[in-house]
């Protein structure tokens, strides 16, 4: 591939600086953990760590998908509404299935299957409209964001859709039960992150994403099927949203118009905190995972202490997010300067 792609692994001689750059988000997370522990030692208690990891799974899984979209120079604002819409449809479908054939494991599998189809379909619509429709991703996904949010409100009659209690009992363990000490949502998060990492760093698809994000024209001249790769990033995003929804629904067994509000911004924030560039061209899945953990940890720490006035929670979050990105950009800049000659 003739396209220039930043590749940390191939430049071992700049070890320390590059390490700092890679480690920026990790450093921020470690500082945050120390802060959390010093404010309240319970922060590292077993129960709290499990809660934190499980909670970060939703945003984390969605953010892994968003890493591909953003790396390829796109943006998806519809993920929060999409999650609410898919959750609502899953509940409606499962409730209908319970009415017609009773609650069984098949009801839940049916719901999960529908969720996957809806997620992939919704992702394809976003991708198709952006590439073939030649509409800016911001506008397409702003549009679909409004559409999905209205649809869930409409189907819920403005209220809340609740899963039939029989199906709920069967489905509940997916969120609440554990395998070797870790709850299932955390496992899903780990698997998605590992697959995402391989796809981004070890396959042609990942390199195409970075190439398109850094220079679309050059990528086109290099015979990369830009539209197809772009569309695939949105489909991946849709798939990730559907996976997140599958583990979200058993938590409260309900969906309403208030579900998933602002998830899109949290996911994008996790991606950027993790070191991916918002303008595209460079993506880091590992960083995204850490970004999601940082975001979740901030909220958790604020709940575990009462030193800070409740009214200032948003301000603390803002300061930490900006500081985390600064930490990582500060070293990123030196990394880039070192690479200029290339």
What are residue 305's DSSP bridge partners?
none
Stretch that binds another protein, among 43-51, 234-242, 271-279, 328-336 (CB under 8 A): 43-51
Nearer to another protein, 72 or 84 (CB): 84
- The reply to whether 178 sits near another protein by the rule CB under 8 A is no
Nearer to another protein, 117 or 261 (CB): 261
Cβ contact 123:243 at 8 Å: no
Let me know if 48 is exposed, middle or buried by CB neighbors in 10 A (0-12, 13-18, 19+).
Answer: middle
- The reply to whether 176 sits near another protein by the rule CB under 8 A is yes
At its nearest, how many Å lie between another protein and the CB of residue 320? Answer: 17
At its nearest, how many Å lie between another protein and the CB of residue 78? Answer: 17
Among 195, 306, 318, 326, binds another protein (CB under 8 A): 306
Cβ contact 300:36 at 8 Å: yes
3-state secondary structure of 341: coil
Stretch that binds another protein, among 10-18, 192-200, 235-243, 297-305 (CB under 8 A): 297-305
- The reply to whether 44 sits near another protein by the rule CB under 8 A is no
Cβ contact 255:91 at 8 Å: yes
Among 102, 133, 159, 318, binds another protein (CB under 8 A): 159
Q: Which long-range contacts (CB under 8 A, 24 or more apart) does 123-129 make?
A: 123/234, 123/235, 123/236, 123/237, 123/238, 123/239, 123/241, 124/231, 124/234, 124/235, 124/238, 126/76, 126/78, 126/234, 126/237, 126/238, 127/230, 127/231, 127/232, 127/233, 127/234, 127/235, 128/231
What b/e readout covers 270-303, taking b as 16+ CB neighbours within 10 angstroms? Answer: bbbbbbbbeebbbbbbbbbbbbbbbbbbbbbbbe
- The reply to whether 45 sits near another protein by the rule CB under 8 A is yes
Among 156, 210, 224, 273, binds another protein (CB under 8 A): 156
At its nearest, how many Å lie between another protein and the CB of residue 265? Answer: 15
Nearer to another protein, 51 or 201 (CB): 51
- The reply to whether 35 sits near another protein by the rule CB under 8 A is no
Nearer to another protein, 81 or 276 (CB): 81
**Residues contributing to the site for another protein (CB under 8 A):** 40, 42, 45, 47-48, 51, 55, 153, 156-160, 162, 176, 251-252, 254, 256-259, 261, 299-300, 302-304, 306, 310-311, 313
């Amino acid at each position: 591939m003739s396209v220039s792609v930043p590749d940390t692994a191939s430049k071992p001689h700049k070890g320390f600086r590059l390490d700092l750059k890679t480690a920026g988000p990790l450093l921020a997370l470690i500082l945050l953990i120390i802060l959390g522990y010093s404010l309240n030692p319970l922060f590292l208690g077993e129960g709290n760590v499990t809660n934190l990891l499980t909670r970060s799974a939703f945003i984390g899984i969605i953010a892994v998908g968003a890493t591909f979209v953003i790396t390829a120079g796109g943006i998806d604002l519809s993920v929060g509404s999409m999650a609410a819409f898919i959750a609502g449809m899953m509940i409606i479908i499962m409730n209908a299935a319970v009415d017609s054939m009773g609650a069984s494991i098949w009801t839940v599998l049916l719901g999960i299957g529908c969720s996957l189809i809806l997620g992939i379909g919704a992702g394809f619509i976003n991708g198709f409209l952006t590439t073939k429709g030649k509409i800016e991703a911001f506008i397409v996904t702003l549009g679909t964001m409004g559409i999905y949010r209205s649809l869930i409100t409409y189907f819920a009659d403005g209220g809340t859709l609740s899963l039939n209690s029989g199906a709920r009992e069967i489905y509940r363990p997916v969120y609440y039960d554990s395998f070797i000490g870790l709850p299932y949502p955390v496992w899903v998060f780990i698997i998605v992150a590992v697959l995402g990492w391989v796809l981004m760093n070890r396959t042609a698809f990942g390199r195409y994403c970075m190439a398109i994000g850094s220079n679309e024209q050059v990528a086109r001249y290099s015979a990369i099927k830009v539209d197809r790769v772009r569309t695939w990033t949105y489909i991946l995003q849709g798939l990730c949203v559907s996976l997140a929804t599958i583990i979200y629904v058993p938590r409260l067994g309900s969906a309403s118009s208030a579900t998933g509000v602002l998830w899109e911004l949290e996911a994008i924030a996790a991606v950027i905190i993790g070191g991916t560039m918002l303008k595209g061209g460079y993506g880091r899945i590992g960083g995204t995972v850490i970004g999601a953990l940082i975001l979740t940890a901030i909220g958790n720490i604020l709940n575990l202490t009462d030193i800070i006035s409740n009214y200032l929670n948003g301000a603390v979050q803002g300061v930490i997010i900006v500081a985390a990105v600064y930490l990582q950009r500060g070293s990123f800049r030196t990394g880039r300067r070192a690479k200029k000659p290339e």
